[in-house]
């Protein structure tokens, strides 16, 4: 296997087969005009020369022409890689099972599932009266998506009497949905339509009333809950709740026993749960426990008892229980499972006879089944007490992800889990809880193209960061291409925000890297929650620099241990992970040969000062409020846009969507413009704007892989691996 290294401009050196790329000087990169905008706060003056690239209406001719120029430039630079990109795309989608379907689950009197028709982008939503029975088509999403450049299916919800299906649609990629209703027997749409929603509805038990969340069209925050009665216009809907604090998100759900409709109000550090009797939809939502700053909790109901996952006097959460009428008095709460300084209780499932608890211990997920005291004669749970020793469900991969799948009936003695590892495709298991460890593999993701799990190896290691903190890292590589001698190219991914854990799961697209000799690494940096809640707290607010330090130190550690060639390290991240990429290339650009930053959040100070931008005020508890000087100074110290320097940068591919509702397109547009002005190298800087998509990129089962193929073509082409056939 021969590798090519490129230290000069890509277009002068890279070839694909016998076709040389266009000379670099024939197509010049767009140079944005500099129009200074002065910003003053806390005695500090900032000059933003590219503020003019912001156009909230997305109609400014000058801005759109500049974005079009960027796209033309990127297309020209990719011209000689188009064949390779198509090869990669065909490779990526060629691994997908053309007849992919989900495992049917029983709810009320039908088995519900989704499946794909070969070659189609979107699923069919179906149900059957019995397993393997005659299918009833509830929704053909392909038909709904016809004529739309982008189509996002929101929530799909069937009424309790199973006669009507409600579904949300977003055709602009702004995550604002219109909800439609369809009579299942006739197949006809009802006249009812709900616009401006978050895409989900929750039904009352009468199958006539339902609840939904309305979004603010400017901030895109869900802030109001309405009650709708079928057969009436939306204008007559009743406002039943309004969130006045714009630092909170709201969501709706339903208890597993279907007796309560639940309203969740959550900020970064505080939560509140309110309930409404699902048999009395004209009633009011009432908080189980009023919000208390810093208190986070969630609930599940069994009979008249609530189980509570809470961080009250437990940094990594503990599980408690209390009767419904006593919920408001925390002194009445009884501890079921104590908290731990090291191990985080992440989730739980409350069935009639069993309690299933998911924990993360030293970064590894564990699932334990606790029998509950149960009176078989009366067929009721006696008191919700744990009875007997728990059973731990065993897993043996060095790194893996496991979680609760759809468990739709509280009275079930069966438990469904999903399981995956970097070398194991997603698997759905069903456990017989009355006869553990008996399990049945219901389905495993098919990976076409000759995939063999045994050809790959996963590892889980720790790298010591500069402050002596041990950072977990997941690695996977192909055994017959890996030599732990510092000769393999290495692709490092990271995120590190919102307490979101990047799980070590299976991703068939990564095989296109592994089969070309690339080592794939996930750096589980602080800001995620891989090592519990303190791991998150140590990477947010005034601790955010730890995320950048961890990522950089992981790179250095992997090089030192022989996992990657120091001259061929590439990195990628998106959204808050794009912020991570922007920070590390400012702080340690020499470590990275090439970087892909997708929908990157890079102008953090300006964005967090602008409350008109969607989601800003929601995230003061994540990043800090720069209206306060300590946070302003700290955020400014790492802000990728503000900290651009006159220095050499890696090769860069930056992507965004014009209609992105999470990270507005103008952040990466400004970032790229300023990088072009400041960087001192001749490396590639390509910027691609999807003029139809939003934060999640392209829609559709196959089309979304076009973005992956573009990134891989860019990185593998630079690494000289475009001429190496995947194994």
- DSSP classification of residue 80: G
Cis peptide before 605 (omega within 30 of 0): no
Place of tokens 């939560």: 271
Instruction: Confirm whether 149 is a catalytic residue.
Output: no
Question: Does the annotation mark 148 as catalytic?
Answer: no
Tell me the two tokens of residue 339: 């908290």
Burial of 347 (C-beta count, 10 Å sphere; 0-12/13-18/19+): middle
Q: DSSP code of 650? A: -
Partners of 152 in the β-ladder: 170
Phi, psi of 696 (to 5 degrees): -90, 5
Based on DSSP, count helices (H) and strands (E) in the chain, helices before strands.
Answer: 13, 40
- Of these residues, 200, 209, 598, 695, which one is catalytic? 695
In 614-657 the beta strands, taken as DSSP E runs, fall at 651-657
Which of the residues 660, 661, 699, 707 is marked catalytic? 660
If one counts every other C-beta atom within 10 angstroms of the C-beta of residue 465, the result is 20
Distance CA 160, CA 574 (A): 39
Residue with tokens 């990157």: 600
CA 146 to chain centre: 26
End-to-end CA distance of the chain: 12
- Indicate the angle between helix axes 61-77 and 666-678, nearest 10 degrees: 60
From CA 513, how far away is CA 331, in angstroms rounded?
54
Reading the block at residue 389, the tokens are: 């020793």
Question: Which of 171, 116, 117 has the alpha carbon at shortest distance from 146?
Answer: 171
Scored b (16 or more CB within 10 A) or e, 239-257 reads ebbebeebbbbbebebbbb
CA distance 413 to 562: 48
As given in the structure block, the two tokens for residue 485 are: 């001698």
Cβ-based neighbour number of residue 142 at 10 Å: 16
Please give the C-alpha separations between residue 600 and each of 348, 364, 528, 630, 706, in angstroms, as whole numbers.
33, 29, 17, 24, 19
| Cβ atoms of residues 262 and 253 within 8 Å | yes
* Active-site pick, 508, 512, 575, 639: 575
**CA separation for the pair 11, 616 (Å, rounded):** 40
> Is 20 a residue of the active site?
no
| DSSP-H helix ranges across 104-254 | 141-145
CA dihedral in degrees (2, 5, 10, 12; nearest 10)? -80
- Any idea what the Cα angle at residue 694 is, between residues 689 and 696, rounded to 5°? 105
Of how many residues is the chain composed? Answer: 727
How far out from the chain centre does Cα 693 lie? 16
Count other C-beta atoms under 10 Å from residue 281's C-beta.
21
State residue 570 phi and psi, 5-degree precision.
-120, 155
Task: Please identify every residue annotated as catalytic.
Answer: 575, 660, 695
């Amino acid at each position: 296997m021969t590798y090519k290294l490129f230290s000069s401009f890509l277009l002068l050196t890279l070839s694909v087969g016998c076709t040389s790329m266009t000379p670099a000087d024939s197509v010049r990169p767009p140079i944005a005009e500099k129009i200074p905008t002065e910003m003053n706060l806390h005695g500090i003056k900032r000059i933003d020369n590219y503020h003019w690239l912001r156009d909230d209406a997305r109609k400014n001719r000058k801005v759109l022409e500049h974005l079009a120029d960027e796209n033309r430039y990127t297309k020209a630079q990719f011209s000689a890689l188009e064949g390779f990109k198509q090869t990669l795309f065909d490779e990526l989608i060629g691994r997908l099972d053309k007849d992919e379907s989900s495992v049917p689950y029983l709810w009320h009197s039908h088995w519900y599932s989704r499946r794909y028709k070969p070659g189609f982008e979107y699923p069919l939503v179906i149900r059957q009266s019995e397993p393997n029975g005659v299918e009833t088509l509830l929704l053909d999403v392909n038909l709904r998506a016809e004529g739309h450049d982008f189509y996002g299916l929101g929530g799909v919800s069937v009424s309790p009497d199973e006669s009507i299906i409600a579904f949300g649609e977003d055709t602009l990629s702004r995550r604002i949905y219109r909800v439609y209703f369809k009579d299942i027997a006739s197949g006809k749409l009802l006249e009812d339509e709900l616009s401006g929603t978050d895409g989900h509805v929750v039904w009352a038990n009468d199958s006539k009333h339902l609840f939904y969340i309305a979004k603010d069209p400017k901030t895109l925050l869900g802030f109001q809950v309405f009650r709708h009665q079928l057969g009436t216009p939306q204008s007559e809907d009743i406002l039943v709740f309004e969130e006045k604090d714009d630092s909170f998100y709201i969501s709706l759900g339903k208890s597993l026993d279907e007796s309560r409709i639940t309203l969740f109000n959550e900020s970064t550090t505080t939560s509140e749960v309110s309930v409404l009797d699902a048999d009395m939809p004209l009633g009011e939502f009432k908080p189980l426990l009023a919000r208390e700053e810093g208190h986070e909790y969630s609930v599940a109901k069994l009979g008249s008892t609530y189980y509570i996952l809470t961080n009250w006097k437990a940094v990594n959460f503990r599980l408690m229980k209390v009767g419904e009428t006593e919920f408001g008095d925390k002194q009445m709460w009884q501890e079921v499972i104590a908290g731990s300084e090291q191990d985080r209780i992440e989730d739980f499932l409350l069935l009639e006879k069993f309690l299933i608890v998911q924990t993360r211990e030293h970064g590894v997920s564990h699932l334990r089944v606790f029998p509950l005291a149960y009176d078989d004669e009366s067929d009721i749970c006696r008191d919700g007490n744990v009875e007997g020793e728990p059973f731990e469900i065993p897993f043996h991969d060095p790194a893996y992800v496991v979680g609760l799948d759809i468990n739709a009936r509280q009275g079930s003695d069966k438990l469904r889990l999903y399981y995956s590892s970097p070398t194991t495709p997603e698997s759905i298991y069903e456990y017989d809880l009355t006869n553990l460890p008996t399990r049945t593999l219901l389905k495993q993701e098919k990976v076409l193209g000759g995939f063999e799990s045994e050809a790959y190896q996963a590892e889980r290691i720790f790298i010591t960061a500069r402050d002596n903190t041990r950072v977990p890292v997941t690695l996977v590589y192909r055994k017959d291409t890996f030599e732990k001698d510092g000769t393999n190219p290495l692709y490092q991914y990271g995120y590190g925000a919102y307490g979101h854990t990047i799980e070590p799961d299976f991703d068939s697209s990564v095989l296109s890297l592994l089969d070309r000799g690339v080592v794939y690494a996930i750096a589980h940096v602080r800001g995620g929650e891989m090592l519990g809640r303190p791991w998150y707290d140590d990477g947010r607010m005034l601790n955010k620099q730890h995320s950048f330090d961890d990522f950089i130190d992981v790179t250095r550690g992997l090089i030192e241990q022989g996992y990657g060639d120091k001259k061929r390290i590439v990195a990628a991240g998106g959204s808050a992970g794009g912020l991570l990429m922007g920070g590390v290339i400012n702080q340690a650009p020499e470590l990275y040969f090439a970087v892909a930053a997708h929908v990157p959040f890079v102008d953090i100070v300006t964005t967090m000062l602008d409350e008109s931008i969607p989601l800003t005020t929601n995230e003061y508890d994540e990043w800090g409020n720069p209206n306060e000087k300590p946070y302003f100074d700290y955020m400014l110290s790492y802000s990728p846009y503000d900290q651009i320097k006159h220095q050499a940068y890696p090769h860069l591919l930056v992507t965004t969507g014009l209609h992105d509702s999470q990270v507005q397109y103008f952040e990466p547009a400004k970032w790229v413009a300023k990088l072009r002005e400041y960087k001192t190298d001749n490396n590639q800087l390509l910027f691609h704007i999807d003029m139809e998509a939003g934060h999640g990129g392209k829609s559709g089962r196959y089309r979304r892989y076009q973005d992956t193929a573009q990134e891989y073509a860019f990185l593998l082409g630079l690494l000289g691996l475009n001429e190496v056939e995947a194994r």
